[in-house]
C-alpha cells in the first residue's frame, strides 16, 4: 500500500499540481490552501466546498498530515517544550515561550545537526535527516497554542539554512496571502552562516536574521563551532554588509556567554570592532548546561558589564531572559532522551 502524500506544507503551486492530478478545477488549489492554512482542518473530509466525490479521490492518495505532539514538558515559568514524531524512531522539539506581550515558538528544521557545536545537545545526536516542509510546518499548525503565536524563530534543532529548500516553502506559506499571511517581521531565521543558504536568504527573504557568533576570535569560535573553518564569522559579516538592514529587516547576533571563556571586557571590545558599521543588535544568552560538556554559564554581573560595553559603543545589546531551565531547556535534550527510550 502506497503511503499517502501530505498536503500540509505544500505551496499553492504544489496544490495546483494536486488539483490537476485529482481532476479538480484549478481554483480548487486555493480552496485547499484556505482549508489547510486558514481554517486549519485536520482531514480532507472537512473541505466541504469540494465535491464529495472529488474529496474521495483526494483521500485515496493524500491526507492533511497534521500530527499532534507526542509528549511535552512544561516549565514553572510557562515555557512548554513539545516533542513531535519525525519518522520511525525520530523526534524533534519545538519550544513555546509565552511572555507578557508576545508568544514565541522556536521551531526545528532537522533531526540532529551536522554542525557539532560544542555547547549544543542536538549536535551530539549527529545528523539524521532534513525535515520536510510538512514536518516543519506541523510544529506550528499542530501546536495547541497556535492561535496565540505572535512570533516564530527557526532556532530549534538543526541548521535552517542547511535545509533551505524546505525552509523556503514554509516561509512562503507563513507569509503568503493564501497561507498564514504573516508579516516577515514576525519571523526570525537563526543560522551559523551556511554561505550558499545565507546568500539566498538575504536575497529572497524579508524575514529577520540571527547569526550564532559566540566569540569574536576565529580560533576560539572554531573550538566552540567547528564550522568556523568553513564559514568564518568575518566572511559572514562581510556578506551581511552587502544588504540593507536599516528598514524592515533586522540582523542580530547570538552570543552564548561562557564563564571565564568569552565573557570578559576584552571579548566585548573585540566584538565591537568585529561588528563595526553593521546595523545590528547582540543578544547575550545564558548557557544551559548539557551532559559531558565542561562549559559553565557566566554570572550576571559579568554579562551586564559585557552588555554595557557594547551599548556604550553604540551596539544595542540585551541579555535574553533565561526560560525553561527546569524542563531540559537545551535544544535536543528531550528528543535525545525519547530516542534512547525507544532503543
Binding residues for S-adenosyl-L-methionine: 158-159, 190, 212-214, 288
Across the chain, the runs of DSSP E, i.e. the strands, are 5-6, 62-63, 71-74, 80-85, 91-98, 103-106, 110-112, 127-130, 151-154, 187-191, 208-212, 251-257, 280-286, 316-319
Active site residue 317: no
Active site residue 331: yes
Across 56-207, the runs of DSSP E, i.e. the strands, are 62-63, 71-74, 80-85, 91-98, 103-106, 110-112, 127-130, 151-154, 187-191
Out of 93, 135, 166, 254, which one is annotated catalytic? 93
Cell of 29: 488549489
Task: Please state, in angstroms and as integers, the Cα–Cα distance from residue 185 to each residue in 35, 212, 250, following that order.
Answer: 25, 19, 8
Alpha helices in 205-275 (DSSP H): 218-224, 233-240, 265-274
Q: What are phi and psi of 140, to 5 degrees?
A: -85, -50
User: How many Å apart are CA 156 and CA 331, to the nearest integer?
Assistant: 6
Torsion angle, CA of 173/176/178/179, rounded to 10 degrees?
40
Task: Please state, in angstroms and as integers, the Cα–Cα distance from residue 66 to each residue in 16, 30, 33, 131, 136, following that order.
Answer: 20, 19, 14, 14, 11
- Kindly report the number of other CB atoms within 10 A of residue 27's CB atom: 10
| Binding residue ranges for [4Fe-4S] cluster | 113, 117, 120
Nearest C-alpha neighbor of 18 from the set 49, 26, 48:
26
Out of 106, 207, 280, 331, which one is annotated catalytic? 331
Contact 258, 298 (CB under 8 A): yes
DSSP type of residue 297: B
Cell of 310: 557594547
| Binding residue ranges | 113, 117, 120, 158-159, 190, 212-214, 288
User: How many Å apart are CA 187 and CA 140, to the nearest integer?
Assistant: 12
DSSP β-bridge partners for residue 255: 284
Show which residues are catalytic.
93, 331
Amino acid at each position: 500500500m502506497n503511503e499517502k502524500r501530505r498536503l500540509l506544507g505544500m505551496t499553492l503551486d504544489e496544490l495546483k499540481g494536486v488539483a490537476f492530478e485529482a481532476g479538480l478545477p484549478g481554483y480548487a488549489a486555493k480552496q485547499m490552501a484556505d482549508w489547510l492554512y486558514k481554517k486549519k482542518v485536520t482531514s480532507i473530509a472537512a473541505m466541504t466546498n469540494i465535491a464529495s466525490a472529488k474529496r474521495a479521490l483526494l483521500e485515496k492518495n493524500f491526507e492533511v498530515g497534521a500530527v499532534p505532539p507526542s509528549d511535552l514538558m512544561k516549565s514553572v515559568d510557562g515555557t512548554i517544550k513539545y516533542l513531535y514524531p519525525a519518522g520511525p524512531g525520530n523526534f524533534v522539539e519545538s519550544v513555546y515561550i509565552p511572555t507578557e506581550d508576545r508568544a514565541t515558538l522556536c521551531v526545528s528544521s532537522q533531526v540532529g545537526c551536522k554542525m557539532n557545536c560544542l555547547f549544543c545537545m542536538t549536535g551530539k545526536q549527529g545528523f539524521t535527516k532534513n525535515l520536510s516542509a510538512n514536518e516543519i510546518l506541523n510544529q506550528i499548525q499542530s501546536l495547541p497554542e497556535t492561535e496565540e503565536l505572535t512570533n516564530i524563530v527557526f532556532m530549534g534543532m538543526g541548521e535552517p539554512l542547511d535545509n533551505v529548500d524546505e525552509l523556503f516553502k514554509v516561509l512562503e506559506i507563513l507569509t503568503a496571502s493564501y497561507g498564514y499571511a504573516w508579516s516577515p517581521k514576525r519571523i526570525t531565521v537563526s543560522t551559523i552562516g551556511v554561505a550558499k543558504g545565507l546568500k539566498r536568504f538575504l536575497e529572497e527573504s524579508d524575514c529577520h536574521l540571527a547569526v550564532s557568533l559566540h566569540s569574536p576570535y576565529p580560533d576560539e569560535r572554531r573550538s566552540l563551532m567547528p564550522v568556523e573553518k568553513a564559514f568564518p564569522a568575518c566572511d559572514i559579516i562581510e556578506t551581511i554588509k552587502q544588504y540593507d538592514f536599516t528598514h524592515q529587516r533586522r540582523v542580530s547576533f547570538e552570543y552564548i556567554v561562557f564563564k571565564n571563556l568569552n565573557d570578559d571586557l576584552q571579548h566585548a571590545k573585540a566584538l565591537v570592532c568585529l561588528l563595526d558599521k553593521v546595523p545590528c543588535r547582540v543578544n547575550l544568552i545564558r548557557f544551559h548546561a548539557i551532559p559531558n560538556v565542561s562549559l559553565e554559564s557566566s554570572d550576571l554581573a559579568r554579562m551586564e558589564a559585557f552588555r554595557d560595553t557594547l551599548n556604550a559603543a553604540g551596539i544595542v545589546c540585551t541579555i535574553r531572559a533565561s526560560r525553561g531551565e527546569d524542563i531540559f531547556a537545551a535544544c535536543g535534550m528531550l528528543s535525545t532522551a525519547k530516542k534512547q527510550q525507544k532503543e
